[in-house]
Amino acid sequence: MSKVVGTVVGVVVVAGIAWTGAAYYTGTKVEKELIASIDKANVELAKVMPVPGVKFALASFERGVFSSDARYTATLSLPAQEGKPAPAPIEVLVSDHIEHGPFPWSRLKTGKLAPMMATSNAKLEKNGTLDAWFVATKDVPPVSSTFSLGYGGSSTGVVRVAPAEYAEGDSKLAFSGLDINADVGKNGESVKVAGLIESIVATTLSKADGKPLALDFKGVSFDSDMTKGIADLYLGKYSMTTKSLTIAEAQDKPMIVLRDLVQRADLGVQNEKLNVMVGYEVGGVNYKGKDVGGGQFVMKGGNLDPAALKTLNDLYRDMYVRALKSMGSKGEEEMPEMTPEQAQAMQGAMLALLAGNPTLSIDPLQIKTSKGESTFNLNLNLTKPSDKATSIDAMILETIKTLDAKLVVSKGMLAEIFTIAATQEGADPAQAAQMATMQSELVAGMGAQAGVVKVEGDKITSTLNYAAGQVDFNGKKMPVEEFAGEVFSMVLGSGSNMGLSGGDMDEEDEEEMEDAPADEAVPAEPATRVKP
């Protein structure tokens, strides 16, 4: 029995010594990792934010056996402007209690037994710069975080933004707080974040009329799961939702209420080409107590060349950085002109993008009310223009391979919108509804007479198709040059319609009009058109 006890004690002692040695060794590695991470962060920040300059530094590091304590500084430097000396740099302090691995104590207490290099417990310090923020949070650190760093380089944890209440003069802000859960792969190869804000309420006085104005956000959440893929572009899905946004003259008198707001994006790769979808949705709109409707907008891109997109993104980022530098030295933002090398790179990227036959679509743009819905759809197929296309017009025509567009408007929806607008101005609801119905019928009739739409029951429709130099507009086919003349004629208002509902005027008709006596009435053609 004594041998067994001795063996167990020996194992525990050896394990304790091993743990202590591993923890101490980890502590030596943590300091090196911190310094490397700070240096890398400074390099990346200098690329995208040269003005104002932000620099991180390790102010101190006290290493222990099982834990260490570090302090970081983040210094914000603003440039001198208009001959004035540069203001004093603004410094923010962060304290960090780092638990060494392989088994940080805070993780063991919560039953997390997977070995980790370290667990960081960081928080903002009060140092004068952030006093007002600490007052708003009632002396709770405004921002804190807990992150565990794995031996493979990945990290997982949470960033906490504390609830705050701020007031100055006629302005007030109440913020419920925010927790951001994050998982980051080695070297940022993957990033997954999710967070929720219960409410943000901001009140102030309107600059226009001096009346109170309140903004109330409820249930703002976001979720992003992205992984670095082809051409170092991040691919995956992102969404942000808001349960409600209320705009009011006072908190008890809502003027506009937007419900179920959604913004989403999806980036993926198929056959070495990038596909992108961006969508926006409004579940419902209420204006002064009246439900108006909702809608959505979805835009898609396909067959996009990843390398060309990365080149365009890098060019835009370079110009943005140059603009920031210009703003720092001159006190105002100026978008710089592209260098010849940049212009050539952009042209090459655009041609490479078109060579992949990209597609763009709006599918759909939709507006809904209780009386109906209206939609607009667009599908565009593009291609690289030939070397023979030297003029802008020729390049555009060759670039557009096919185009399909369709607009569908509900007369009932139009009438409801007209009714709501009239009643908000004080009109009698019954009279407003009757007048709105007449207005919607008038709009449909005028559009049909002009040839720009067709009316089918409650639907007002318009279609446009283009391919190989030919246009089909509401069922009438014509060369693109003729269609351009029709549009030009309509814009100038040269006739009562675009000539799409009647016949063309030939040379014989024109001669008859020229030979007709001035005092003799000449019967009008069903449609008049300026020929290109």
**Would you tell me how many other CB atoms lie within 10 Å of the CB of residue 80?**
12
Q: What pLDDT, on a 0 to 100 scale, did the predictor assign at position 147?
A: 92
In this prediction, residues 260-278 reach a mean pLDDT of: 95
Q: 219 to each of 16, 136, 177, how far by Cα in Å?
A: 48, 21, 11
User: Which of the pair, 234 or 108, is modelled with greater confidence?
Assistant: 234
Which residues make Cβ contacts (< 8 Å) with residue 182, sequence separation at least 6? Answer: 147, 155, 156, 157, 158, 159, 191, 192, 193
In this prediction, residues 54-59 reach a mean pLDDT of: 89
Q: What pLDDT, on a 0 to 100 scale, did the predictor assign at position 279?
A: 97
DSSP state letter for 231 = G
Q: How confident is the model at residue 27 (pLDDT cuts 50, 70, 90)?
A: low
DSSP string, 83-150: TPPPPPPEEEEEEEEEEESSS-HHHHHTT--S--SEEEEEEEPPSSTTHHHHHHTTTS-SEEEEEEE-
Nearest to 73 by CA among 146, 124, 141, 147: 124
CA 99 centroid distance within chain: 38
Q: What pLDDT, on a 0 to 100 scale, did the predictor assign at position 514?
A: 44
**Which of 49-63, 122-136, 489-503 shows the lowest per-residue confidence on average (mean pLDDT)?**
489-503
Cα–Cα distance measured from residue 399 to residue 383, given in angstroms and rounded to the nearest whole number: 5
Q: What pLDDT, on a 0 to 100 scale, did the predictor assign at position 89?
A: 83
Which residues make Cβ contacts (< 8 Å) with residue 206, sequence separation at least 6? Answer: 212, 213
Q: What pLDDT, on a 0 to 100 scale, did the predictor assign at position 159?
A: 96
Cα–Cα distance measured from residue 176 to residue 243, given in angstroms and rounded to the nearest whole number: 15
Structural contact between residues 147 and 175, judged by C-beta atoms closer than 8 angstroms: no
**Which of 105-109, 170-174, 242-246, 377-381 shows the lowest per-residue confidence on average (mean pLDDT)?**
105-109
Nearest to 268 by CA among 258, 278, 259: 278
Q: Does 50 score more than 70 pLDDT? A: no
Q: How confident is the model at residue 52 (pLDDT cuts 50, 70, 90)?
A: low
In this prediction, residues 432-439 reach a mean pLDDT of: 92
Half-sphere exposure of 126 (CA within 13 A, CB side): 11
**Which of 42-46, 139-143, 198-202, 490-494 shows the lowest per-residue confidence on average (mean pLDDT)?**
490-494
Structural contact between residues 501 and 449, judged by C-beta atoms closer than 8 angstroms: yes
Q: What pLDDT, on a 0 to 100 scale, did the predictor assign at position 1?
A: 45
Cα–Cα distance measured from residue 238 to residue 418, given in angstroms and rounded to the nearest whole number: 37
Helices (H), 302-360: 306-330, 340-355
| Structure confidence by residue, pLDDT tens digits, 152-189 | 888 999 999 999 999 988 889 999 999 999 999 988 89
Q: What pLDDT, on a 0 to 100 scale, did the predictor assign at position 526?
A: 39
Region at 331 (left for phi over 0; alpha for psi -120 to 50; beta for the rest) = left
Burial class (CB in 10 A: 0-12, 13-18, 19+), 515: exposed
Mean pLDDT: which of 174-183, 249-258, 306-315 is highest?
174-183
Q: How confident is the model at residue 474 (pLDDT cuts 50, 70, 90)?
A: very high
State the virtual CA torsion across 383, 384, 388, 389 in degrees, nearest 10.
70
| Structure confidence by residue, pLDDT tens digits, 14-25 | 333 343 444 544
Handedness of CA 430, 432, 436, 442 (dihedral sign): positive
Q: Does 43 score more than 50 pLDDT? A: yes
Largest CA distance in the chain: 133
Phi first, then psi, for residue 33 (nearest 5°) are -65, -40
Q: What pLDDT, on a 0 to 100 scale, did the predictor assign at position 525?
A: 40
**Which of 79-83, 231-235, 388-392, 516-520 shows the lowest per-residue confidence on average (mean pLDDT)?**
516-520
DSSP state letter for 17 = H
Structural contact between residues 174 and 162, judged by C-beta atoms closer than 8 angstroms: no
Domain boundaries, the chain: 1-162, 357-468, 483-532
Q: Which two tokens stand for residue 92?
A: 């923010």
